[in-house]
A = this chain, B = another copy of it.
Amino acid sequence: MTSIKDVAREAGVSVTTVSRVLNNRGYIGSGTRRAVESAMRKLDYQPNGIARALQKSQSFFLGMIVPDSSHPFFGDLLKAVEREATHSGYKLLVCNSLDNPGMEEQYIGMLRQNRVDGIVMCSHTPDAGSYARARLPIVSFDRVIAPGVPSVGSDNYRGGELATEHLIAKGRRRLLHLSGPLGLELLSNRRRDAFAAVCRAHGDSVTGEVIEADHNGLGYEYFRQFMQERLPLQELRRYDGVFCSNDIAAYALCVHAAGLGIAVPKELAIVGYDGHSFTQMLQTPRLTTIRQPIGAIGGLLARTVIGLIEKEEIPARSATVDVELIQGDTT
C-alpha cells in the first residue's frame, strides 16, 4: 500500500507539504500542488480520511442543522458556511429539520455517531435542550441556547431601529410590526423591542402595534395565508406603515395589499428584513429592507465553531454583525 512518504519522495517535497495538500490547509503554490497531485495519481495513493479521523479523534466534519435549505435565507447561509468550512479543511453535513423537534433529536444523534467535530445550529424549535446535551462544540444562529454556547446574528436591535425610524421619516404614524414567535429566545425578537422603543420615543404622535407570526424561516404560502386571515381590508386600513420581520412576509404583504386595492407605498409603506437572494432578485417591486450580511454571518458561524474545536482564539461570543437599510420601491 502506498504511503504518504512514498508520495512525498515521488513529488520531491516534505510529508508536511503532502499533508497540507491533502487537508487543503495553509498556502500551497499551484506548482507544488500539481506535483503532489501528479505523484498521488501516479502511485494511485488514496488517503483514508476515515481511518485518519479515528486515529486523530477528529473527523473534520461539521453538521449544520437548518429548518429548510431551500428557503432563500438558509440556502444563502448554508453556502457561506460551506465555503468557509471547506476553506479551513472541514466538510459540511447538511440536515433539514423542517423545525421538527423529533427529527432534530435524530439528526443530533446521527451527527454524534458520525463524530462530527461541531455543529452549526439554526433551529427554531422550542426545546433547545437536546443541543445542550450533545456535549459538542456548538454555535447557534440568532439564538441563545445555553450559557457558554456562542451565537452569531445580525444587529437585530439596530435593524429594528433603522426600519422603524425609516417609516416615521417617511411620514408614517400608524405602525404595525409583524414579529416572529416572541415566546422563544430568538435574538430576532430584539427587532420587536427596538420597534416598540422607537414608537414610544415619539410619544402620542406614533402608534405601534405588534402581530406575532410563526418563525421567520417560513415560506411564501404561510405568510400569504397569514395576511389573508389576520389582515383583512378593514384591519390593514388601520395602518400606514408595516415593518415585517422577514422579506418573504414583506413580499406577501405587498401582494396582499395589491389584491385589496391598497397602494404601496402611497397608502401603505412596507419594510422587510433579510436582503437574501430572493429579495436581491425581486425587482417588481424592489423591497425596502434591512439587509443582513448573510455571507459574513455564515463565515463567522463556521470560524466560531472551528475556533471552539481547535481551541484557538475564537471570535467574540454572541457576535453581532452590522445591518444596513436598503431603499427600495415599497417606502
B48 and A51 contacting across the interface, CB-CB below 8 Å: no
B70 and A78 contacting across the interface, CB-CB below 8 Å: yes
Residue A205 at the B interface, CB < 8 A? no
How near does chain B come to A30, taking the closest CB pair, in angstroms? 9
Q: Assess A49 versus B284: contact at CB under 8 Å? Given A69-B69, A83-B96.
A: no
Spot the interface stretch: A86-94, A165-173, A209-217: A86-94
Among the listed B49, B79, B112, which residue makes an inter-chain contact with A96, where contact means beta carbons less than 8 Å apart? B79
Size class of the A contact interface (CB-based, 8 Å): 35 or more
How long is the Cα–Cα vector from A292 to B46 in the complex, in angstroms?
Answer: 38
Q: Assess A94 versus B94: contact at CB under 8 Å? Given A110-B24, A115-B49.
A: yes
Residue A326 at the B interface, CB < 8 A? no
How long is the Cα–Cα vector from A113 to B90 in the complex, in angstroms?
Answer: 12
Among the listed B22, B69, B72, B91, which residue makes an inter-chain contact with A79, where contact means beta carbons less than 8 Å apart? B69
B278 and A255 contacting across the interface, CB-CB below 8 Å: no
Taking CB atoms, residues of chain B closer than 8 Å to A16 are none
B72 and A70 contacting across the interface, CB-CB below 8 Å: yes
Q: How many copies does the complex hold?
A: 2
* Interface 0/1 of A6-35, CB less than 8 Å to B: 000000000000000010100000000000
How near does chain B come to A247, taking the closest CB pair, in angstroms? 10
Among the listed B76, B280, B283, which residue makes an inter-chain contact with A255, where contact means beta carbons less than 8 Å apart? B283
How long is the Cα–Cα vector from A256 to B68 in the complex, in angstroms?
Answer: 31
* Interface 0/1 of A45-71, CB less than 8 Å to B: 011111101100001010000001111
Q: Kindly identify, within residues 255 to 307 of chain A, every residue whose CB is under 8 Å from any CB belonging to chain B.
A: 255, 258, 277-278, 280-285
Residue A101 at the B interface, CB < 8 A? no
How near does chain B come to A210, taking the closest CB pair, in angstroms? 25
Residue among A96, A219, A281 facing the most chain B CB atoms (10 A cut-off): A281
A93 and B96 contacting across the interface, CB-CB below 8 Å: no
B95 and A50 contacting across the interface, CB-CB below 8 Å: no
How near does chain B come to A84, taking the closest CB pair, in angstroms? 11
Taking CB atoms, residues of chain B closer than 8 Å to A220 are 280-281
B49 and A114 contacting across the interface, CB-CB below 8 Å: yes
Residue A106 at the B interface, CB < 8 A? yes
Taking CB atoms, residues of chain B closer than 8 Å to A113 are 22, 46-49
How near does chain B come to A199, taking the closest CB pair, in angstroms? 30
A70 and B277 contacting across the interface, CB-CB below 8 Å: yes
How long is the Cα–Cα vector from A281 to B279 in the complex, in angstroms?
Answer: 11
How long is the Cα–Cα vector from A99 to B101 in the complex, in angstroms?
Answer: 35
How near does chain B come to A109, taking the closest CB pair, in angstroms? 8
A78 and B83 contacting across the interface, CB-CB below 8 Å: no
Residue A251 at the B interface, CB < 8 A? yes
Residue A82 at the B interface, CB < 8 A? yes
18 example contacts (A-B, Cβ-Cβ < 8 A) are as follows A24-B106, A50-B50, A51-B54, A69-B69, A69-B75, A69-B79, A70-B75, A70-B78, A72-B75, A78-B94, A83-B96, A86-B95, A91-B110, A93-B94, A219-B281, A220-B280, A255-B284, A278-B281
Other A-B contacts than A51-B54, A69-B82, 11 sampled, CB-CB below 8 A, are A24-B106, A24-B110, A49-B114, A69-B78, A69-B79, A70-B72, A70-B79, A72-B75, A92-B93, A92-B94, A219-B281
